[in-house]
């Protein structure tokens, strides 16, 4: 590539992130480690690529650079069931949430936050590595809301401690942003809680530290995205252009003007650009109806709120 092309092209890490391989920071690490090639040569940090360049990561199928893609990223909501893993590779061959997702060409689905094997509720998938990073990275402190059923009940002192000082676990302290008593019957008690981190099994470990084993755990919100009440276990719903744009705005990512305008026109006509939708006989109107039916607020469970800092 000559100097003029380098100035005109897209940064390599951005292109890789847009292809769904990971966040820009992760892609920078891949490039520094020599895992990426451009036109057969090992890539370097700061490199730009232009239409026609052939990019490979880990010597796998090439990513061909096309004219700037102005389409909005795709975003799916999935109601995870207990007994499913959030991983593509599992030695035990257990059921994976990725088995339920529509196939993509030239991209891959990225799970925004994980849920463990025995936890159900809201999972978000996107084709944008940048969007996934904005929602998951600890520095953005995006809220996660859970409904949890425990064996026993918290004392008032324990509830105050969780909201003020927090509880110290083996990997550091944890504090809930909100904690609400939802009542219960017999030995089981329900609570609704909000926290701004996604450490492994942090909710279960916190209640276990208080001597209250968790018997049921469900994520009901991630950031401004709610689990739609009508989205039953094992069901998927794709967000429409308006909801995707709202999420991009909320995390501080600017949607390309052409993408926003194109999406609005297509949505107004009830049309779709996706080959898999056309092959399945679905129309934009069909998908809007399915998403709207699942939504507690707006069209697809996206609500307004304060953006991550």
Arithmetic mean of pLDDT, 102-117 = 88
Write out the residue range of the structural domain in which residue 246 sits: 236-294
pTM over 0.75: no
Per-residue pLDDT of 3-50, as tens digits, reads: 444 446 788 888 888 777 888 888 999 999 999 999 989 999 989 888
Q: Are residues 195 and 242 in the same domain?
A: no
Residue 224 scores a pLDDT above 80: yes
Least confident piece of the model among 51-65, 80-94, 108-122 = 51-65
Of the three residues 47, 64, 81, the one that is the final residue of a domain is 64
17 located within any domain: yes
What is the SS3 string spanning the chain?
CCHHHHHHCEEHHHHHHHCCCCCHHHHHHHHHCCCEEECCEECCCCCEECCCCEEEECCCCCEECCCCCCCCCCEEEEEECCCCECCCCCCCCCCEHHHHCCCCCCCCCEEECCCCCCCEEEEEEECCHHHHHHHHCHHHCCCEEEEEEEECCCCHHHHHHHHCCCEEECCEEECCCEEEEEECCCCEEEEEEEECCCCCCHHHHHHHHCCCCEEEEEEEEECCEECCCCCCCCCEEECCHHHHHHHHHHHCCCCCHHHHHHHHHHHHHCCCCCHHHHHCCCCHHHHHHHHHHHCCCCCCCECCCCCCC
Q: Are residues 271 and 205 in the same domain?
A: no
Q: Are residues 216 and 165 in the same domain?
A: yes
pLDDT of residue 68: 54
Residue 210 scores a pLDDT above 50: yes
241 located within any domain: yes
Per-residue pLDDT of 142-166, as tens digits, reads: 999 999 999 999 999 999 999 999 9
Of the three residues 49, 64, 79, the one that is the final residue of a domain is 64
Of the three residues 164, 189, 222, the one that is the final residue of a domain is 222
Q: Are residues 201 and 271 in the same domain?
A: no
Residue 203 belongs to domain with CATH number: 3.30.2350.10
Q: Are residues 158 and 213 in the same domain?
A: yes
Residue 239: pLDDT band with limits 50, 70, 90: very high
Q: Are residues 176 and 150 in the same domain?
A: yes
73 located within any domain: no
Residue 237 scores a pLDDT above 70: yes
Q: Which member of 58, 69, 99, 116 is catalytic?
A: 116
Q: Are residues 218 and 262 in the same domain?
A: no
78 located within any domain: no
Q: Are residues 218 and 253 in the same domain?
A: no
304 located within any domain: no
More confident residue, 59 or 65: 59
299 located within any domain: no
pLDDT of residue 302: 62
Residue 17 belongs to domain with CATH number: 3.10.290.10
Number of domains in the chain: 3
116 is catalytic: yes
256 located within any domain: yes
């Amino acid at each position: 590539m000559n100097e003029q092309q380098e100035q005109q092209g897209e940064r390599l890490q951005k292109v890789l992130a847009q292809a769904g391989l990971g966040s820009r920071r992760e892609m920078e690490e891949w490039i520094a480690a020599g895992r990426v090639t451009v036109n057969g040569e090992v890539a370097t940090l700061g490199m730009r690529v232009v239409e026609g360049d052939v990019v490979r990561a880990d010597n796998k199928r090439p990513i061909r650079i096309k004219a700037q893609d102005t389409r909005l990223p795709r975003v799916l909501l999935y109601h995870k069931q207990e007994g499913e893993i959030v991983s593509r590779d599992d030695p035990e061959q257990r059921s994976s949430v990725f088995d339920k997702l529509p196939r993509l060409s030239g991209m891959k689905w990225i799970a925004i936050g994980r849920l463990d094997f025995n936890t159900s509720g809201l999972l978000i998938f996107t084709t944008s590595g940048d969007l996934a990073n904005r929602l998951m990275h600890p520095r953005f402190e995006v809220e996660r809301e859970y409904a949890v059923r425990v064996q026993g009940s918290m004392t008032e002192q324990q509830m105050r401690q969780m909201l003020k000082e927090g509880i110290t676990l083996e990997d550091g302290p944890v504090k809930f942003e909100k904690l609400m008593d939802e009542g219960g019957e017999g030995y089981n008690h329900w609570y609704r809680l909000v926290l701004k981190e996604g450490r492994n099994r942090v909710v279960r470990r916190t209640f276990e530290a208080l001597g209250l084993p968790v018997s049921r755990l469900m994520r009901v919100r991630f950031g401004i995205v709610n689990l739609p009440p009508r989205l039953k276990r094992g069901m998927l719903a794709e967000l429409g252009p308006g909801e995707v744009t709202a999420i991009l705005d909320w995390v501080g990512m600017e949607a390309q003007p052409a993408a926003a305008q194109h999406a609005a026109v297509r949505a107004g006509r009830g049309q779709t650009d996706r080959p898999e939708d056309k092959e399945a006989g679905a129309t934009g109107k069909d998908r809007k109806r399915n998403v709207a039916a699942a939504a507690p607020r707006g069209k697809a469970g996206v609500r307004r709120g304060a953006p991550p800092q």
